[in-house]
Amino acid sequence: MKLKIVARFLAVIVFLISACMIMPLVWAVREGGNEIRAFAYSIALGSLFSITLLLFSYKAQARDMGTREAFAAVALAWIFASFQGCLPYYLGGYVSDFTEAYFEAMSG
């Protein structure tokens, strides 16, 4: 299995989710809510993770992705997207523990 291709795919997914969290951050700043820190940390952690994966998968080409890599990429994208989505719940203090935040993000 070509892990660099999977890592590149995951980097793009995590970065897009981080970019989508900018709008709630702007809204929290505008409204003066206490969610600012939760969204800012979530964006920072997601971006840092994404940049790390992009550096790891520097020369990976998407055209080399096979069926095995595609299945791994989709399964891992679901796990990482849920993790990225649970960070605002957990860091904002809306749930009592990390498992509950992860379940909320994964279940939709």
Kindly report the pTM of this predicted structure.
0.85
pLDDT in tens, 46-92: 999 999 998 888 776 667 788 898 899 999 999 999 999 999 999 88
Three-class DSSP category at 90: helix
How far lies 42's CA from each of 10, 21, 59, 64, in Å? 16, 8, 27, 31
Q: How far apart are CA 39 and CA 25, in angstroms?
A: 6
**Contacts by 103-107 with C-beta closer than 8 Å and gap 24+?**
106/78, 106/82
pLDDT in tens, 9-46: 999 999 999 999 999 999 989 988 778 999 999 999 99
Q: Which residue has the tokens 């791994």?
A: 72
